[in-house]
């Protein structure tokens, strides 16, 4: 029996009739870009995140949500943005696109998120924004440095692309990923916890003026049609994505709960099979509700690639997120980093292995994977 890394079809089966109805409705209306379907989804996403409905501004992708957020906070060439080297490329790509400078700080080896103390050490008079990522569905505890950052007039943009629905309890209060900083950014790429049937993204904020600016920037900086206050980009959500995301949003908490259950199963299965001395399982920081966009283990003793190959031979799929930290990417050579600058991130890229985790993954498939790992380690 094969075990896929991801099978989106299993959860989609539950909503397929409703999604087909929605697509028919849009074909009837012939309204494809922004419009009432998009407004409706923005309203429901805002309600879920407990913000004013006008403060949720959708756009064409998670990448664009980061670009729009940086533009809306006036990021200019030469500005320094402190961020993590261990993330998907878009987090830094968008910074570089604006001529700003990604300034990396190493990560915490347990959570894989940026090390907040190391981030603070990177502050200079040019630092404009702190851009953390809630990697794999686990929040960075931003409350720990929020005061320090605001006293230096540094704003936070959260890359919550992998963390829609994730939350953290701060002083007894639930704070959702993306709701902590000046702007939170989400991706609705099909594989994300809340994913459409194509590209999509969203920015959220508490500040009405920032929301208005984001709304203009996504339509070429235009307030009134054909009058341009500033140069923006073309980045709009389409009606079909909005309608499908609106349907999926109703299932999100249930699907995230399934992911947490699958994570718990892995935790118990690996431990009870004596495998915890060969691998390190994900660590859930206190007060966090990790939503396991990915279940990423570390494989000890340089065995990661061999284990991956072994599993692949048994038709069990795994992935490596991410094989090369951003400070070592060829396109960022000009930033002047070298191997050894961020040992934790570099070690992670050699050890991490993402296992199948998605709504609809069967317990028997998890058992099959864990049994195969046991076979590999000959125990």
Ligand X SMILES: *Cc1c(COP(=O)(O)O)cnc(C)c1O
Candidate residues 86, 112, 167, 189; the one interacting with ligand X per rule CB under 6 A: 189
Q: Which position among 83, 162, 175, 205 is part of the footprint of ligand X (CB under 6 A)?
A: 162
Q: How far is the CB of 201 from ligand X (least distance, A)?
A: 5
Residue 95, class by beta-carbon neighbours within 10 Å (0-12 exposed, 13-18 middle, 19+ buried)? Answer: buried
**Three-class SS of residue 242?**
helix
CB of 161 to ligand X, least distance (A): 3
**Which residues inside 323-352 make contact with ligand X, applying CB under 6 A?**
none
- Report in angstroms how near the CB of residue 113 gets to ligand X at its nearest: 11
294 lies in the site for ligand X, by CB under 6 A: no
Q: Put the strands of the sheet holding 279-280 in their side by side order.
A: 279-280, 295-299, 352-355
68 vs 239 by CB, closer to ligand X = 68
CA 284 from chain center: how many Å?
16
Looking at the Cβ atoms of 329 and 371, the one nearer to ligand X is 329
Question: Does 142 help bind ligand X (rule: CB under 6 A)?
Answer: no
Closest CA to 248 of 177, 173, 197, 282: 197
Q: Which of residues 51-110 bind ligand X (CB under 6 A)?
A: 61-63, 87-88, 90-91
Distance of CA 302 to the CA centre of its chain: 27
Helix axes 252-272, 363-376, angle to 10 degrees: 30
d(CA 146, CA 339): 30
The H or E element spanning position 68 is helix 62-72
What is the spatial distance between Cα 289 and Cα 175, in angstroms, rounded to a whole number? 10
Q: What distances in angstroms separate CA 249 from CA 22, 45, 49, 204, 255, one per listed residue? A: 14, 8, 11, 16, 10
Residue 295 interacts with ligand X (CB under 6 A)? no
Query: Segment contacting ligand X (CB under 6 A): 157-165, 218-226, 312-320, 357-365?
Result: 157-165
Q: Which two tokens stand for residue 25?
A: 């409705």
Is residue 242 part of the contact set for ligand X (CB under 6 A)?
A: no
Is the Cβ of residue 248 or residue 373 nearer to ligand X in the bound state?
248
State in angstroms the smallest separation of the CB of 110 from ligand X: 18
Task: Extract the tokens encoding 29.
Answer: 């209306």
In the beta sheet, which residues pair with residue 101?
80
CA distance 247 to 239: 12
Closest approach, Cβ 199 to ligand X, in A, equals 6
Least Cβ distance, residue 185 to ligand X (angstroms): 7
Q: Smallest gap, in angstroms, from Cβ of residue 97 to ligand X? A: 12
Q: Which residues contact 219 (CB under 8 A, 6 or more apart)?
A: 232, 234, 236
The site that binds ligand X (CB under 6 A) totals a number of residues, namely 15
Q: How many helices (H) and strands (E) does the chain have?
A: 12, 13
Range 359-378, binding ligand X (CB under 6 A) = none
**Residues 168-187, interacting with ligand X (CB under 6 A):** 187
Q: Is 238 one of the binding residues for ligand X (CB under 6 A)?
A: no
Residue 203 or 307 having the CB closest to ligand X: 203
Residues in Cβ contact with 270 at an 8 Å cutoff, skipping those fewer than 6 apart? 276, 279, 281, 297, 370, 373
Name which of 255 and 270 has its Cβ closer to ligand X. 255
Given the complex with ligand X, which of 187 and 349 has the nearer CB atom?
Answer: 187
Q: Which is nearer to ligand X, 187 or 366 (CB)?
A: 187
Which of residues 55 and 92 has its CB atom nearest to ligand X in the complex? 92
Closest-by-Cβ residue to ligand X is 62
* By the rule CB under 6 A, 196 interacts with ligand X: no
**Binding residue for ligand X, selected from 132, 165, 181, 201, defined by CB under 6 A:** 201
Q: Residue 291 or 366: which CB sits closer to ligand X?
A: 291
Binding site for ligand X (CB under 6 A): 61-63, 87-88, 90-91, 133, 159, 161-162, 187, 189, 199, 201
């Amino acid at each position: 029996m094969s075990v896929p890394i991801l099978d989106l079809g299993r959860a989609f089966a539950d909503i397929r009739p409703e999604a087909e109805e929605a697509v028919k409705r849009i074909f009837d209306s012939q309204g494809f870009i922004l419009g009432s379907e998009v407004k409706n989804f923005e309203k429901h996403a805002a309600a879920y995140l407990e913000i004013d409905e006008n403060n949720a501004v959708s756009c064409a992708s998670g990448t664009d949500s980061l670009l729009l957020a940086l533009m809306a906070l006036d990021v200019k060439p030469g500005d320094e943005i402190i961020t993590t080297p261990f993330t998907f490329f878009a987090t830094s790509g968008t910074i570089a696109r604006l001529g700003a400078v990604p300034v990396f700080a190493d990560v915490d080896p347990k959570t894989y998120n940026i090390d907040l103390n190391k981030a603070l050490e990177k502050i200079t008079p040019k630092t404009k924004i702190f851009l953390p990522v809630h990697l794999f569905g686990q929040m960075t505890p931003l409350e720990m440095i929020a005061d320090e950052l605001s006293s230096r007039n540094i704003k936070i943009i959260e890359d919550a692309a992998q963390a829609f629905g994730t939350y953290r309890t701060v002083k007894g209060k639930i704070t959702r990923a993306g709701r902590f900083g000046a702007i939170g950014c989400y991706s609705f790429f099909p594989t994300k916890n809340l994913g459409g049937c194509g590209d999509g993204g969203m920015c959220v904020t508490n500040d009405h003026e920032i929301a208005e600016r984001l709304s203009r920037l996504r339509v070429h900086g235009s307030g009134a049609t054909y009058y341009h206050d500033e140069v923006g980009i073309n980045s709009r959500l389409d009606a079909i994505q909005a309608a499908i995301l609106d349907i999926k949003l109703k299932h999100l908490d249930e699907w995230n709960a399934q992911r947490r259950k699958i994570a718990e199963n892995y935790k118990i299965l690996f431990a009870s099979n004596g495998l915890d001395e060969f691998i390190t399982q994900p660590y859930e920081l206190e007060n966090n509700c990790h939503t396991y966009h990915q279940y990423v283990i570390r494989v000890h003793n340089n065995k990661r690639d061999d284990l991956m190959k072994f599993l692949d031979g048994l038709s069990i799929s795994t992935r490596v997120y991410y094989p090369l930290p951003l400070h070592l990417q060829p396109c960022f050579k000009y930033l002047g980093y070298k191997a050894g600058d961020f040992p934790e991130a570099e070690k992670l890229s050699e050890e991490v292995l993402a296992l199948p985790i998605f709504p609809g993954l069967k317990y028997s498939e998890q058992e099959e994977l864990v049994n195969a790992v046991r076979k590999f380690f000959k125990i």
